[in-house]
Structure 1
Amino acid sequence: MSRRSTQGVVFVHACPKALCQHVEWALERVVGAPVSLTWADQPAAHGSYRAEIAWTGGTGTGSRLVAALRQWPMLRFEVTEEASHGNDGERMAYVPGHGVFRAPMSANGDLIITEQQLRHLAATATSVEAFRHGVDELLGAPWDADLEVYRHAGDSSPITWLHQVV
């Protein structure tokens, strides 16, 4: 018997009405169980809808959820995966025109920048401003800047739990 080893949340920040059911089907394929999201109007994008769903499953489920959702380049979404035994947590975000952002996440939700990333940035940045810009990129600032208005539109939305079949 396999045990569930991690959990996380999928935030679909903006999805056209015509794709809502397709998003549910994509999530179902990853977790192997029926998914029924509670969709709400997304006031930040006319004609779009938003939904949140918490999930439990094996390590790497977050990455598989991102892969399933990125087949629709007009979606805006985030997926988190909490740390599990032997694995860091992760935050992944997708924004049209920026692609996927992916970073390790600490237990309190902070993003982690590694020593090697900082050494590389320090060695290649040509100015203080270039270094600052590089740190912003490592922290996902362009994704956060785009998604912030969509996140606020979802404050106080209910979260449903999604469990992976194992």
Structure 2
Amino acid sequence: MVFIHSAPRAFRAHIEWAVGGVIGHALGLDWSEQPVQRGALRAEFSWTAPPGTGARLATALHAWDQMRFEVTEDAAAGLDGHRWMYTPDQGMHSAQTDTGGNVVVSENRVRLALAEAIDQPHQLHERMEQLLGTSWDLELDVFRGASEAGPVTWLHRVG
């Protein structure tokens, strides 16, 4: 999936052209207003292509630093999935995912985070949040649920 959470109206044709070039055919995305950001549009679409196309899509979209987007490439037999998130304030976050879409953090990355935080345990929490992409998720959550077609439901008490 590609989720364009917010993009300036002027970028619409350029985005369609760039993404179409990556997946090999022209696109006509169904754009809608992004109510969270005045003057911005949002769109989403699913795609099917060879493994590695997700990285090429994220790279193509990254050319416009005033937009917010996510690209997901699902896991397949023998291949890990991947997720890319981009925001103008934080840049790009890239993470491996499993078949359920969960972020997978490798043993080596966990060991490095533990070693770096050996004398400062609070740094372990910060590093793990970074590896999981928490701050990107928090920023994008507002844009994910803010469409007229999909109203936001705030849960105040669960359980």
Please name the residue that 2:94 is paired with: 102
Q: How many angstroms apart in 1 are the aligned matches of 2:36 and 2:127?
A: 28
Return the match for 2:35 from 28, 40, 43: 43
Normalising to structure 1: TM-score of the pair?
0.86
Instruction: For 1:137 and 1:155, locate their aligned partners in 2 and report how far apart those are by CA, in whole Å.
Output: 31
Structure 2: unaligned runs, 5 residues or longer: 151-159
**Are 2:74 and 1:86 aligned?**
no
- Match status 1:68 vs 2:57: no
Matched ranges for 1:14-163 at <5 A: 14-125=6-117, 126-154=119-147, 156=149
CA deviation string 1:23-60 (max 9, x = no partner): 00011110110101000100111100000000000000
Cα deviations by residue, 1:31-90 (Å, 9 ceiling, x for unpaired): 110101000100111100000000000000100000111110001000000012321000
Matched residues, percent identical? 39
Task: Give the number of aligned pairs.
Answer: 149
Contact 2:35 2:147 in 1 (8 A): no
For 1:5, the equivalent position in structure 2 comes to none
TM-score, normalised with respect to structure 2: 0.90
Structure 1 unmatched runs, 5+ = 1-8, 158-166
Kindly state the Cα deviation for residue 99 of structure 1 after the two structures are TM-superposed. 1.3
- Output the CA distance in 2 between the equivalents of 1:131 and 1:84: 31
Please list, as runs of the form range in 1=range in 2, the aligned pairs for 1:5-16 lying within 5 A after superposition: 9-16=1-8
**Relative contact order, CA 8 A, sep 6+: which one is greater?**
1
Instruction: Tell me, in whole angstroms, the C-alpha distance in 2 between the residues paired with 1:154 and 1:104.
Output: 28
Contact 2:22 2:53 in 1 (8 A): yes
How far apart, CA to CA, are the structure 2 residues paired with 1:78 and 1:114?
A: 21
Q: Distance in 2 between the 1:67 and 1:43 partners?
A: 26
Distance across 2 between alignment mates of 1:29 and 1:150: 26
Instruction: Give the number of the structure whose residues are more often strand, by fraction.
Output: 1
CA separation of 1:155/1:141 partners in 2, compared to 1, >3 Å: closer, same or farther? farther
SS in 1 for 2:104: coil
Distance 2:132 2:41 in 1: 27
